[in-house]
Structure 1
Amino acid sequence: MKKKVIIIGGGFAGLTAAAELCSSGYQVTIVEQRGFLGGRAYSFIDKHGNIELDNGQHILMGCYENTFRFLKTIGALDNLYIQESLSVDFLDKNGDVYSLDCPDIPAPLHIASGILGFSALSLPDRFRMLKVSKDLLLNKTDRTLEDSSITEWLNRLGQGKESRDNFWGILSYAVMNEGPDSASAYLFKNVLRKAFFSSRKGSRIVLPALPLSRMYVDSAEDYINKHGGIIKKTALVSGLIIKNDNVSGIRLRDGEIIKGDFYISAVPYFALKRIIPEDIMISHYEYFGVTEKLKPSPIISIHMLFDRTITDCIFFALINSPVQWVFNKGLIYRDKAPAGLLSLVISGAHNYISWSSKDILDMSMKEIEGIFPGADSARLLYSKVIKERAATFSPQPGVERFRPSRETPIRNLFLAGDWTDTGIPATIEGAVISGYKTAELIKKEPF
């Protein structure tokens, strides 16, 4: 008889674990409180603009091996835009373009070549950036950086203000969803080594070529259903039933109890305490209590649809701007995307999350008009500001000691999520890694 696994939460982590366990002979049930899957990475049809939008833009990289494995499993690997080689345009407030172009040569020489040609920095600053490359090569696992910020680490390596403002800061917001003064150098360094020093292909930018729900959610749902899985939507979990450090079932808000052999909580850290009984939180506070020490970091996405195409850049970073990245969905999406659709991103948006949507839109429009002189004559047909107040956990220095392992003190309860101990920041790859590792733990249990 098949062992039953109950998974709470249908984001990347939960879907990855479900797909892996379904294909390994387990009876899997996903319990999702909303009427759709996707967690913090989904798309929706906006009724006012009659347009499909992502709740937030996600950037993947060529080194996301686990994510590509998952997408291949569910048949969604072709739903991606993948660069031939790393190339990123950086635009300043005057609209001047500075390109980081990395040639088709082995890593890490391709990065060194790209840095030396990056004219947004002075030549001395470019050479100083190579000190970071040297540190990444020689000091591979540096646990001493766990309590250091990115800025502190860069200062030790002689990185000046220009390189921090025009490159490192922008990269920090993209990778960490936090500014370099507030983000862990240890986690940042882990990502840099994996992305830029594993292989040339590992550093390529990869983007969803379809809105997120069509990019992966629909395929994952089909795969799980075809492999005998059960997906219960609009099913709100009121709590786990735990006795003698063993889960016997989950109780839904409507009173239904769902029983299994193993249970995976794939919900965000701030939602975990809502489903763990209070007495368990107290008796195992050393494990579950750390989630109270994780803090959120917000992301704001601004979708703007113009009556014409205002740039032929596929995506680009902005220098010295509150908006860090702009994505030209009309060029990225392979079907049904209006030509003038741009998606702007403000990561680590602590200073702007309390702003009104109108003020955020006005500020974003001003940035676009300053960069592209023709934009002021283009007509804005539609706009949407989306605030994700708890988009990720904040990867502050020292945060690693607060990220729990996937094995809990409860014998048959496991955790999955990008906030668990993955060794990297809160990314799609981190969520998928946790999903696979949690599935492997269950597969090691007696069948």
Structure 2
Amino acid sequence: MDPGPGSSDVIRKSRPAMSQPLHSEVIVIGAGLAGLSAAVALSGAGAEVKLFERRPYIGGRAYSYEHPSLDETIDSQHVVVGCCTNLLDLAQQAGMADALRWYDELIFLEPNGNRSALRSGSLPAPMHRAMSFLQAPMLRLVDKTGIASGLLRFLHGFPQDDSESFASWLKRTGQTDRAIRHFWEPVVVGALNDTFDRCSVKYAGKVFHESFLRSPEAGRLGIPASPLSDFFAPIASLASQAGVDLRLKTGLESLQQTADGRWSVRAAGESHIADAVVLATDFKQTRTLLNTLPAAEDDRARLDAAFDALTPSPITTIHLWYDREVTGLDHAVLLDTRIQWLFTKSRIRRWSKERGEYCELVISASWPELQMGREEILSSALAEFERFFPAAKQATLIKTGVLKEARATFSVTPGLDQYRLPQATPWPGLFLAGDWTRTEWPSTMEGAVRSGRLAAGAVMGEHQRFMSPELPATGLMQYL
């Protein structure tokens, strides 16, 4: 049975006998991607795993829900790139190979109608996108020269020191205003969900090294072909088949260590005992839970400093349903506008044309929108959308939705790495998972899966045990 809204609250299946793990009984709190990946790894290694989720659905922040007044299932669009090796490995295990639509080009649109497409050609990496880049009308020669010079700095990798902001890097490397607006900004703000001054060069450089230079496969764009809770349901089924006892609508009420060093968990009115606990919750909830546990003064100070350094960043999405096709595109980056991305979900999900067209507009780092009302956000977005797609003016707009997610991601601010917590904690047998922990990735679905697998490895005493290898470099990049 696939878990999701309206599904059974308790899902159990038998687990095959396996060798005894370091911790034979483990409770995982939170059925987002971090918790699901931890539970699958641990159960596969022979542990008896219980997975508790307070919501009636899986996915954590990557979820979808039935909008009560729209009679539609909506979510905030998440995407995958080819270098997300751990997420793709988990998806393959769950039999989700056909659940992603893969695209080999990025389309950039200007309000004047100019269209640029960055796609892989026949040249070896890192030059596989060079021809389409040189032909892109969105950039002038001086812009392209500056961008090429900037990308060369990420050719051998990216800085391991995260102290410099990307805003400082752009100034230091002499990037033009047009290069910033038409290349660096849509990529960085879209990928890291933050402004340049709040993004470190380390993680911005990682985006460009992995997605633009390392190999054509690493930069492929994958978009879920169904609402997120449905998209992730096979992973919950995989967990169930591996023997995980998954319980929805089971919120954690208390957590404490017993006299013999085990853990007592109370959830949904029931008490449970386990050798180890993995907290796969967001950093705000995790902080609240850890504050209930006794700790040494220096450990408490270190934890407080870490949580104080973590800040959330919002995303706002605008959902539009038209009576006919108006875009002619599956997805696009929109330039010189408040909207970063267009996703035409009806095309991605292969709707029949008779159903009309469903579009989602994404505004990343949307702090101004948090203070705006629905109608103000909608009217502004529609005006900008119609500049790019005039056909929308002749179509009938059937219904609309606006979704604000104030805590969509965390900000990879300069200097954050020293505060990101490891999966092991000062309390023996208690471990942390979540994209905000120490994963060497920004706030992404891949980061969440990595955190869950790292936490499972820490439980087993082998930190890297469940990690997938990085995607190998190809072409000339394998020598660089």
What amino acid is the match of 2:77? Q
What amino acid is the match of 1:57? Q
Partner of residue 188, structure 2: 172
Residue 391 (str. 1) matches residue 405 (str. 2): no
Residue 260 (str. 1) matches residue 274 (str. 2): yes
Instruction: Give the distance between the partners of 1:131 and 1:422, measured in 2 at CA.
Output: 29
Q: Could you report, residue by residue, the CA deviation over 1:247-305 in whole angstroms, capped at 9, with x for unpaired residues? A: 521223x5422211111011011111222244536642244211122111000111110
**1:370-409 maps to which residues of 2 (within 5 A)?**
370-409=387-426
Instruction: Give the distance between the partners of 1:245 and 1:417, measured in 2 at CA.
Output: 28
Secondary structure at the counterpart of residue 404 of structure 1 = coil
Partner of residue 454, structure 2: 437
Structure 1 counterpart of 2:127, from 101, 109, 119: 109
Q: Could you report, residue by residue, the CA deviation over 1:325-356 in whole angstroms, capped at 9, with x for unpaired residues? A: 01011111145894410011011101111111
Deviation at 1:94, TM superposition (A): 2.7
Deviation at 1:107, TM superposition (A): 1.4
Partner of residue 4, structure 1: 25
Secondary structure at the counterpart of residue 389 of structure 1 = strand
What amino acid is the match of 1:236? G
Deviation at 1:203, TM superposition (A): 0.7
Instruction: Give the distance between the partners of 1:262 and 1:279, measured in 2 at CA.
Output: 15
Deviation at 1:161, TM superposition (A): 0.9
Moved more, 414-423 or 106-115: 106-115
Residue 353 (str. 1) matches residue 370 (str. 2): yes
TM-score normalised per structure 2: 0.87
- Structure 2 contact 81–218 (Cα < 8 Å) conserved: yes
- Structure 2 contact 151–208 (Cα < 8 Å) conserved: no
Instruction: Give the distance between the partners of 1:421 and 1:167, measured in 2 at CA.
Output: 29
- Structure 2 contact 258–264 (Cα < 8 Å) conserved: no
- Structure 1 contact 281–288 (Cα < 8 Å) conserved: no
Instruction: Give the distance between the partners of 2:365 and 2:259, measured in 1 at CA.
Output: 41
- Structure 1 contact 40–391 (Cα < 8 Å) conserved: yes
- Structure 1 contact 239–277 (Cα < 8 Å) conserved: no
**1:79-118 maps to which residues of 2 (within 5 A)?**
79-83=99-103, 85=104, 87-118=105-136
RMSD: 1.9
Cα gap change, 1:43 to 1:336, in 2 (>3 Å):
farther
What amino acid is the match of 1:71? A
Partner of residue 58, structure 1: 78
Structure 2 counterpart of 1:230, from 236, 241, 245: 245
- Structure 2 contact 29–280 (Cα < 8 Å) conserved: yes
Q: Could you report, residue by residue, the CA deviation over 1:21-64 in whole angstroms, capped at 9, with x for unpaired residues? A: 2222111111111111110111122232322222x111211111
Structure 1 counterpart of 2:346, from 330, 334, 342: 330
Cα gap change, 1:390 to 1:174, in 2 (>3 Å):
same
Please, which runs of 5 or more residues in structure 1 have no aligned partner?
none
Instruction: Give the distance between the partners of 1:156 and 1:112, measured in 2 at CA.
Output: 24
Residue 300 (str. 1) matches residue 316 (str. 2): yes
Please, which runs of 5 or more residues in structure 2 have no aligned partner?
1-19, 463-480
Secondary structure at the counterpart of residue 188 of structure 1 = helix
Secondary structure at the counterpart of residue 280 of structure 1 = coil
Structure 2 counterpart of 1:273, from 283, 287, 295: 287
Instruction: Give the distance between the partners of 2:133 and 2:321, measured in 1 at CA.
Output: 34
What amino acid is the match of 1:80? L
Deviation at 1:386, TM superposition (A): 0.8
Instruction: Give the distance between the partners of 2:36 and 2:293, measured in 1 at CA.
Output: 29
Secondary structure at the counterpart of residue 181 of structure 1 = helix
Partner of residue 143, structure 2: 125
Structure 1 counterpart of 2:380, from 360, 363, 378: 363
Instruction: Give the distance between the partners of 1:406 and 1:92, measured in 2 at CA.
Output: 44
Instruction: Give the distance between the partners of 1:59 and 1:327, measured in 2 at CA.
Output: 10
Moved more, 329-338 or 202-211: 329-338
Partner of residue 216, structure 2: 200
Instruction: Give the distance between the partners of 1:141 and 1:123, measured in 2 at CA.
Output: 25
Moved more, 152-161 or 276-285: 276-285
Count residues in correspondence: 438
Moved more, 324-333 or 392-401: 392-401
Residue 135 (str. 1) matches residue 150 (str. 2): no
Q: How much identity, in percent, do the aligned residues show?
A: 31
